[in-house]
Amino acid sequence: MHGELNKVRCSNCGSILDWSEDCSTTNICPNCKELGTLRPDVVWFGEMPYHLETIDEVLDYTDIFISIGTSSQVMPANLFATVVSQNGRNASVIEVNPNPTTDGAFNQTIAENATLGVPKLVEQLLLQYGTKAI
């Protein structure tokens, strides 16, 4: 959804390339040969996230949705929990966050930071569903 730090994207030709070195305006795109057009292949604020159509399809069939440490303020990801809670599947919509959101989409909240809350959640899910679910 947000891209990958180990890749670059050319703003000229749109190529996405594996990249392990620093990226700067002195780099030349290997495909179109333009100078200074490479940037990290990540989605900045104000840009459209990747794979939204696929994400929308998956949310309709989600049985367990887990949101970890987000403010739930940034569109469109802030709507994912609501979509899952309303998909008719009686899904578990779980939040791990020291500052829980108040939008009512979550049916379980673990009000702790991720380093404490995620292991507790994993233990709970293993007890509830066994190792097949994880």
Catalytic residue numbers read 2
CB 100 within 8 A of CB 72: no
Q: CA end-to-end span of the chain, whole Å?
A: 21
Q: Name the one residue in this structure whose structure tokens are 């290997």.
A: 30
Query: What is Dmax (Cα atoms) for the chain?
Result: 55
Alpha-helical regions (H) of the chain: 52-59, 80-85, 114-129
The pairing of strands 3-10 and 16-18 is antiparallel
